[in-house]
Structure 1
Amino acid sequence: MDASSIRIPGYRGPINPNPNPPDGEARISIYLYRPWLAAGIVGAAVFGLVMLVQLWYMLRRRGTRWFHGLLAFGALMEVGGYAARIKGYQNMFRVYVFVASYFLIVVAPIPIAAAIYLMLTYAASRWPNGRRLLVMPPKVMVTLFITVDIITIAVQVLGAAMVGVVQTKLNRNERAPMTIKTAGYILLAGLAVQTAFFTTFMLLLLLAITRVPRLELPPGLARPLRMLLYSNLAAGFFVLLRTVYRLAVECQGYFGSANSSQTLFTVFEMVPVIVAMTILSAVPVARWFPKAEHLEHLEHPEQTSQAWQTQSDVTHEVKD
């Protein structure tokens, strides 16, 4: 039996050799291809290593355990997702394996994004006058963006699950609860809202970076603050890149060429999240927090400010 006998426009992937597949199997590969074994192994191994690093940080850094715990949990979900893709390589027609893989890989960015949101609140709470960096209270910002992420991810998982259910029903000549196109629209709606809100967060992060000079911090405090914000911006960029890729895929349609390309999945789904997690795992976030000796100088702000100004004037006189 070839692909043309299934009569799915645009589908050119593998066909189940069993004309009467058992419960839980579809007549086509819901991935639209056979998942690469090597990519699944690399993804599971790399995210497993990231998880161990974050667990190590979490055990040793008391003040940032939520941050590292969220990243460890996200990495664990990625490990499960790519382990499921390894199972998908063994049998690409099992719907529940696809749903598990899709659920874990799509949901994993929730705790990762939550850690990125939390990282910005550290900047607002750990540095003197850091609240000036944000346009809304830190708790409100974190609650808002995490809530939106949870809702939009739930919508995406629902859409992906319905794709599997609808396709299985159609292949068995049974009545489906909706069309494949409708299930794709559900996915698209969740992705569109998620992309819009994460883009908004990135704009708030850029705004926070431009506001750093307003804090009038000495170099010993301003430099690590910028390092924290820039590393947060870099990690957030790669998470946003992955989200935009997902949105582009769904705009083209479930059976489009983008969703049918395993190369694009690897380059724009797996790799960006690996890079983001690597940036956030390079050093513990507490490494950038203000040192006690730098904060001691701020006990008398007016005297400290005058001292910095005097030092700056002397420096300019020497240069002249």
Structure 2
Amino acid sequence: MDRPVIPGIPEYRGPINPNPNPPDGEARISIYLYRPWMATGIIGAVVFAIFMVVQLWYLFKRNRRTKWFHGLLAFGALMEVGGYAARVKGHQNMFLVNTFVVSYFLIVVAPIPIAAAIYLVLTYAAARWPDGRRLLVLKPKTMVTLFVFIDIVTIAVQVVGAAMVGVVQTKSNRGEKPPMTVTTAGHILLAGLAVQTAFFSAFIVLLVIAITRVPRLGLHGKMLRNLRMLLWANFAAAMFILLRTVYRLAVECEGYFGEANSNQTLFTIFEMVPVIIALGILSIVPIGRWFPDKHEATELLTHPASHNEYEMKH
């Protein structure tokens, strides 16, 4: 039997609220476009909670030289916990508009502090290793400020788009004229995602340039290995965050009611899993363990001939 067509959105084929007159706060359709899986919500909340605890442990008990890095990752993990906990609530009632907006907001915004932590790694490399400033194309403060600002603006645009989807559906249910169509709200999402993807890709280019410039520092042995390990781990985490961002961009290019956005399996594989892997990479060890001793780094910078003595000791 064919599903009834919802006025204004004939392309929608997801669950329909059994209440023909939904109360305030409920939509006629599931704005998720499906019923969120309980398992995905629970697994996401639990795994990100573990990462949050690990990062807090590093922050307060291990190495305070990287407190901003670990603090940002802990905050990002906390937002993911809240986002997936909201999806558990969405499984119980998929028509609640506020629950959808909270879930979408937290899951979409969580990569901001995670990306900011990834940006910080380059500034740590420039500050902790001898002559490390040569790794960067931009000044450290300029780089972090620019990319974090762009992330905040583009995420704000995406959240506005998502919120407007809920507003459009709520007003349509009440027989009121919505401020825009669902398609327009999707275009707002798309614009934010496109700019975010472009700038994050630009950062990855800067990161690759830094990796190629490592030989210019004239490092050897442990210091060289540790710097490369730090940058390559950061690169791997950045690529998984980029994968997640490109997925969202592809979803919005197809349209809010497209097959990709309606497929919960794709959401799990390309939204949740990449962020889990990225945080996992950044949680294996506190990155401060890879930093050279401050005194030894200064000695190597001012007395290059001491490289051999350093290698004999390490």
The alignment's TM-score, normalised by the length of structure 2, stands at: 0.95
Q: In 1, are the aligned partners of 2:128 and 2:297 still within 8 Å (CA)?
A: no
| Percent identity over paired residues | 71
Residue 302 of structure 1: CA displacement? 4.8
Residue 173 of structure 1: CA displacement? 2.2
How far apart are the structure 1 equivalents of 2:298 and 2:259? 59
Residue 6 of structure 1: CA displacement? 1.3
Which residue in 1 is equivalent to 2:17?
A: 16
In the alignment, which of 84, 109, 131 is matched to residue 86 of structure 2?
84
1:99-150 CA distance string (max 9 Å, x none): 0000000000000000000011100110011000001100000000000000
- The alpha-carbon distance between structure 1 residues 302 and 124, as it changes in their structure 2 partners (threshold 3 A), is closer
Residue 294 of structure 1: CA displacement? 4.6
The alignment's TM-score, normalised by the length of structure 1, stands at: 0.93
How far apart are the structure 2 equivalents of 1:163 and 1:292? 52
Q: In 1, are the aligned partners of 2:48 and 2:81 still within 8 Å (CA)?
A: yes
Which residue in 1 is equivalent to 2:4?
A: 4
1:201-245 CA distance string (max 9 Å, x none): 000000000000011112221110000000000000000000000
1:154-176 CA distance string (max 9 Å, x none): 00000000011112212332101
In the alignment, which of 272, 275, 278 is matched to residue 273 of structure 1?
275
Q: Which residue identity does 2:3 align to in structure 1?
A: A
How far apart are the structure 2 equivalents of 1:119 and 1:18? 51
Q: How many residues align?
A: 308
Q: Which residue identity does 2:112 align to in structure 1?
A: I
- The alpha-carbon distance between structure 1 residues 227 and 3, as it changes in their structure 2 partners (threshold 3 A), is same
Which residue in 2 is equivalent to 1:216?
A: 218
- The alpha-carbon distance between structure 1 residues 302 and 23, as it changes in their structure 2 partners (threshold 3 A), is closer
Query: Mind listing any 5+ residue stretches in structure 2 that lack a counterpart?
Result: none
Query: Mind listing any 5+ residue stretches in structure 1 that lack a counterpart?
Result: 312-320
Residue 9 of structure 1: CA displacement? 2.8
How far apart are the structure 2 equivalents of 1:18 and 1:120? 53
Which residue in 2 is equivalent to 1:30?
A: 31
Rg larger in structure: 1
What's the Cα RMSD here?
1.7
Residue 31 of structure 1: CA displacement? 0.1
1:153-198 CA distance string (max 9 Å, x none): 0000000000111122123321010111111110000000000000
Q: Which residue identity does 1:4 align to in structure 2?
A: P
3-state DSSP of counterpart to 1:32? coil
Q: In 2, are the aligned partners of 1:3 and 1:11 still within 8 Å (CA)?
A: no
How far apart are the structure 1 equivalents of 2:119 and 2:304? 33
In the alignment, which of 43, 64, 67 is matched to residue 65 of structure 1?
67
Which residue in 2 is equivalent to 1:263?
A: 265
1:22-171 correspondence to structure 2 within 5 Å: 22-60=23-61, 61-171=63-173
